[in-house]
Structure formats: C-alpha cells, structure tokens
Amino acid sequence: MVKEGRFREDLFYRINTVTLHLPPLRERSDEIVPLAEAFVKQYAERYHRAAHGLSEEAKQMLLRCRWSGNIRELQNCIEKAVIYSETELVRAEDLQIRASDMTESKSQAESLEDAEEKVIRQAMKQYNGNLSLVAKALKISRPTLYSRLKKYGI
C-alpha cells in the first residue's frame, strides 16, 4: 500500500516496529482442545447451558479439523455446539463439522509430523545445533522452532 501511495510511509515505519509470526491453529494442535474447553465454559455461562466440557470423540474431531479460519472458526464452532448441546459434555455430533473440513486421516497427519521431525533433526545436525541458522534454513521463526523442538523432544 505504501508503494501504491495508499498508505503514508512515515506512519508505516512508525507502527512497523515489531513483526510477529503466529502460526495457524492447525500447526498448534496442542492448543486446540484447551481453547475449545475455554470457549465451552464461556458460552455455557453466556447462554445458561449445562455443557461444561468436551467428550473424547469431540476432542478427537476437533484435532482432525483443518481450522482454516483459525481461532475464530473454532470459537464459532464451539458457540454453536454449546447452544445445540443438550448434555453436560459437548458431543462430536453437536460440533456440526463437515467431512470436507476434516484432514484426510490421523495416520497422514502423523506421517507429516514424522517428516517434519526428520527435517528438523537433519537441519540441527547440518547446522551443529545453531538455532538461528536452523530456523533460517527451515524458513520458520525461532519461537516456532522452539515449539517444534519441544514437541519432538529434540
């Protein structure tokens, strides 16, 4: 927009002091269930519903979803589920997630994770554990690299 003359250059440089990279929700699967549970509590209180948690099937379904709309999509899904739920636990059928929103299979996701771990381990070896070089080579931020190292126990 600056190049096109539609945004003031001085203002851009004034507000562009810190750049944050926030990976999509599908890359932070460890956050999906805790976020969903927090949303269940929030909406159960707001709408005076009995739901206070998620069934195991619902949790597994949430983990298999792509979440292309990120946290807002998850939040909207949980809000509708709490409204429709007639039990104390939100069930998979309450979520109303379409098959087209789901990833292919858990085994495919696991094989992708295996490939990701292998690539990270190779890069760590290639760059002698230099995290800056590894992150740069993998084209990810250092915080994302830290997260992956923790995830894979590297």
Give span(s): CATH 1.10.8.60, the chain.
25-101
In the three-class reduction of DSSP (H, G, I as helix; E, B as strand; rest coil), residue 65 is classed as strand
pLDDT-above-70 percentage for the chain = 93
Q: Residue 103's pLDDT is what?
A: 65
Q: For 25-101, CATH number? A: 1.10.8.60
- Whether 70 shows a pLDDT value over 60: the answer reads yes
d(CA 71, CA 42): 15
Show the tokens assigned to 64.
Answer: 């298999």
Q: Residue 106's pLDDT is what?
A: 47
Please enumerate in sequence order all residues whose Cβ is within 8 A of that of 135, keeping only pairs 6 or more positions apart, or say none: 141, 142, 144, 145
pLDDT in tens, 1-17: 889 999 999 998 888 88
Q: Residue 131's pLDDT is what?
A: 93
Query: How many Cα neighbours within 13 Å face the side chain of 52?
Result: 2
d(CA 109, CA 106): 5
pLDDT in tens, 29-53: 999 999 999 999 999 999 999 999 9
Show the tokens assigned to 88.
Answer: 């104390």
Give span(s): CATH 1.10.10, the chain.
106-152
Q: Residue 105's pLDDT is what?
A: 47
Show the tokens assigned to 19.
Answer: 């750049």
Mean pLDDT confidence for 127-140: 92
Q: For 106-152, CATH number? A: 1.10.10
